[in-house]
Structure 1
Amino acid sequence: MSERLGPIPDHALSEAQRTAAQEIAAGPRGAVYGPFVPLLRSPELMSHAQRMGEYLRYRSAIGVRLSELAILVTARQWDQQVEWAIHAPIAAQVGIPSSVIAAIAARERPGDMLVDEAVVHDFCVELHEHKAVSDRVYADALALFGEQGVVDLIGINGYYTLLAMVMNTARTSVPEEGAWRMPD
């Protein structure tokens, strides 16, 4: 399958697209890549989305390590190879064990998670698979992260679901160099 909604040549960018692209490039991402390439067709949506994503990825109330774990669960739930290729190495760098990453890739519940990792994993899986979270899993998340943490965790799942939908629809190509892949 060929990629849809690929890069827009610089000379074809509207002023709004150019401004939105510059905003992303000037932030912690440093460039327009992955989901932001197709999102550039709607520069206002892209700008709002990237600001939400910047908060959720870098400053959420649950911290970067657990945010990366939630991103991996979401990527796996949506079979989103680009999200996986970008975030699996980051998750490893911030302390998610390779055994946990491999189990998520295999659609298995990792057996060797820390308590906070297990709570995030179970919350995300339930939210994706049941479109809701059980009272027990909600209570566990609330006890560990408080209300802001629970809402941020929901936000991470929703935001990365949006990005997965965009990239799955656009057929965004997986970066080849050093890419981590999920099994099909």
Structure 2
Amino acid sequence: MTDRLPPLPPQQLTPAQQAAAQAVIDGPRGALYGPFVPLLRSPELMQHAQRMGEYLRYRSALGTRLSELAILVTARQWNQQVEWAIHAPIAAQEGIGQAVIDAIAQRRAPPGLAPDEQAVYDFCKELHEHKRVTDATYAAALALFGEQGVVDLMGLNGYYTFLAMVMNAAQSAVPPSEAAPLPD
């Protein structure tokens, strides 16, 4: 697969693209990579996406461990290799067990989830597969995370779906990673 929207040479960037790229580089990501490479073609969209993603990834009401779990479920749902390559190692560092990561990669129900992890997993799976969540799943998430946490969980699923769509359509190149690629 050829990367349809590869990195742009710095000397070809418009002033708006330069400013958008610099905002990502100066933020917690520290570099322009992954979905921000194709999104740079639309600098205003990229700036808005970057700000939303910065909140959801680094400061959501769920915390980084559960946010990373939601990202992995979304990456698997969309067969998104770039998201997986970036986030599977982060999820492991944040305390998501390797058996859980491997099960998600294999499209199997993860073993031994903690109650908060089970609530996130169930919510994400239902939302992706059924386009809604049951009352029981919603109530479990609400009891654990409150309304802000539930809304942030919805946001994580939507935001990482957006990024997956961008990178799948752009055929973004997968970065080197310690994570095994998602199987077909």
Give the structure 2 partner of residue 84 of structure 1. 84
Task: Report if the CA contact (8 A) 2:4-2:170 is conserved.
Answer: yes
The size of the alignment, in residue pairs, is 184
CA distance 1:177–1:121, shift in 2 (3 Å): closer
Give the structure 2 partner of residue 30 of structure 1. 30
What SS does the corresponding residue of 1:32 show, helix, strand or coil? coil
Counterpart Cα distance in 2 of 1:180 and 1:173: 15
Counterpart Cα distance in 2 of 1:172 and 1:38: 8
Give the structure 2 partner of residue 4 of structure 1. 4
Give the structure 2 partner of residue 17 of structure 1. 17
| Structure 2 unaligned blocks of 5 or more | none
Give the structure 2 partner of residue 53 of structure 1. 53
Counterpart Cα distance in 1 of 2:36 and 2:179: 18
Give the structure 1 partner of residue 119 of structure 2. 119
| Structure 1 unaligned blocks of 5 or more | none
For residue 180 of structure 1, report the CA deviation from its aligned partner.
3.1
Give the structure 2 partner of residue 149 of structure 1. 149
Counterpart Cα distance in 2 of 1:17 and 1:154: 29
For residue 175 of structure 1, report the CA deviation from its aligned partner.
1.0
Counterpart Cα distance in 1 of 2:11 and 2:97: 44
Per-residue CA deviation, residues 157-176 of structure 1 (Å, 9 max, x unaligned), is: 00000000000000001113
Per-residue CA deviation, residues 52-97 of structure 1 (Å, 9 max, x unaligned), is: 0000000000110000000000000000000000000000000000
For residue 181 of structure 1, report the CA deviation from its aligned partner.
1.2
Identity of aligned residues (%): 70
For residue 26 of structure 1, report the CA deviation from its aligned partner.
0.3
Counterpart Cα distance in 2 of 1:69 and 1:149: 14
Give the structure 2 partner of residue 139 of structure 1. 139
Paired amino acid for 2:173: S
Task: Report if the CA contact (8 A) 1:123-1:133 is conserved.
Answer: yes
Give the structure 1 partner of residue 175 of structure 2. 175
What SS does the corresponding residue of 2:73 show, helix, strand or coil? helix
For residue 183 of structure 1, report the CA deviation from its aligned partner.
1.2
Paired amino acid for 2:117: E
For residue 179 of structure 1, report the CA deviation from its aligned partner.
4.3
Paired amino acid for 1:94: E
What SS does the corresponding residue of 2:96 show, helix, strand or coil? coil
CA distance 1:157–1:23, shift in 2 (3 Å): same
TM-score (norm 2): 0.98
Give the structure 2 partner of residue 129 of structure 1. 129
Task: Report if the CA contact (8 A) 1:89-1:180 is conserved.
Answer: no
Task: Report if the CA contact (8 A) 1:85-1:175 is conserved.
Answer: yes
Counterpart Cα distance in 2 of 1:153 and 1:161: 12
Q: CA RMSD in A?
A: 0.8
